[in-house]
Amino acid sequence: MAQLVLIIEDEKDLLVTLEYNLKREGYRTRTATTGREALLAALGTETPDVVLLDLMLPDMPGTEVCRRLRENERTRRMPIVMLTAKTDEVDRVVGFEVGADDYVAKPFSIRELLLRVRAILRRAQPVSQEESGQAHQLGRLAIDVAAHRAWVDKEEVSLTALEFRLLRTLLERRGRVQTREALLTDVWEMSPEVTTRTVDTHVKRVRQKLGVAGSYIETLRGVGYRFIEAVRDDSTSGSERP
Ligand code: CA
């Protein structure tokens, strides 16, 4: 089925133009003109593949819509492109802070926007489609370092940037013990407010999120953590085989 684009824009002319052009490119579209409508549409039965989000909506700021979509498990990873007349660096930063993936300043060319949409959808391809070829498979865990994404048994695991960095660091040094102090230096870059206890808390959370693959991270009591050297063959028995 064609990919679904949710267009959130209160300027009717622009909304119609966007809808027309996206449909012509073969996408399916859904539209919303307020933040409320947008949230209902995005959280409805079918999660959009990408969202175009106007920053200035009549009932709530686009940044608020973005924030709420990021809080919901189903839409946490959904690509969001912000559309705005504001080009200030401040607004751009706010957009990224609330989790926008890209930013297009009005007036923009439709052609440029379509290119961005296509690029963002390509980046968001699930690993099973093997578009990027960057995903490493370790037993039941798959990880795409460039895309900052991880999957267990083909089910995506939602990790924060920090959790992902922690997992990646352990993975890159698999088979070798990483002390809490080393992890603090490399993952947290020595923020003065964090303690070794923080490392434990985060490892625990990453393990929980990885579920069956959580056991790949071993604890060496009093020392630190280690990603296991080799994932045994039988650990993949629960997942599909080609
Ligand atoms: Ca607007």
pLDDT tens across 48-61, in order?
A: 999 999 988 999 99
75 assigned to some structural domain:
yes
Banded pLDDT at 91 (limits 50, 70, 90): low
- Is the pLDDT score of 191 beyond 80? no
- Is the pLDDT score of 195 beyond 80? no
Q: Which of 123-127, 144-148, 153-157 has the highest mean pLDDT?
A: 153-157
- Is the pLDDT score of 235 beyond 60? no
Q: What is the mean pLDDT of the chain?
A: 83
Which protein residues have a CB closer than 5 Å to ligand 1 (ion)? 10, 54, 56
Ligand 1 centre to CA of 56 (Å) is 4
232 assigned to some structural domain:
no
φ, ψ dihedrals at 27, nearest 5°: -85, 155
- Is the pLDDT score of 93 beyond 80? no
- Is the pLDDT score of 174 beyond 50? yes
Q: Is 161 helix (H, G, I), strand (E, B) or coil?
A: helix
- Among residues 56, 90, 124, which one ends one of the domains? 124
Whichever domain contains 215, its CATH number is 1.10.10.10
Rg (CA), the chain: 21
Instruction: Report the C-alpha gap between 21 and 146 in whole angstroms.
Output: 30
Sheet of strand 224-227: strand arrangement? 178-179, 224-227, 217-220
Ligand 1 centre to CA of 76 (Å) is 23
Ligand 1 centre to CA of 58 (Å) is 7
- Is the pLDDT score of 241 beyond 50? no
Share in percent of the chain as helix, strand, coil (round to 5): 40, 20, 35
Ligand 1 centre to CA of 149 (Å) is 32
Banded pLDDT at 15 (limits 50, 70, 90): very high
Identify the bridge partners of residue 157 per DSSP, sorted by sequence position.
Answer: 150
Q: Which of 26, 43, 34 is nearest to 7 (CA)?
A: 34
pLDDT value for 19: 97
Q: Tell me if 127 sits within 8 A of 225, measured CB to CB.
A: no
Banded pLDDT at 122 (limits 50, 70, 90): confident
- Among residues 101, 124, 147, which one ends one of the domains? 124
Report the pLDDT averaged over residues 212-221. 92
Collect all residues with Cβ–Cβ distance below 8 Å to 197 and sequence separation of at least 6.
none
Ligand 1 centre to CA of 84 (Å) is 7
Ligand 1 centre to CA of 10 (Å) is 5
Name the residue range of residue 180's domain: 136-227
Ligand 1 centre to CA of 61 (Å) is 9
DSSP string over 88-132:
-HHHHHHHHHTT-SEEEESS--HHHHHHHHHHHHHHT--GGG-SS
pTM: 0.54
Please identify which residue in the block is written with the tokens 């080609």. 242
pLDDT in tens, 158-167: 988 778 889 9
pLDDT value for 120: 79
Whether residues 63 and 108 fall in one domain: yes
- Which two tokens mark 154? 């083909």
- Indicate the number of domains in the chain: 2
Count other C-beta atoms under 10 Å from residue 180's C-beta: 18
Ligand 1 centre to CA of 53 (Å) is 9
169 assigned to some structural domain:
yes
pLDDT value for 172: 84
- Is the pLDDT score of 242 beyond 60? no
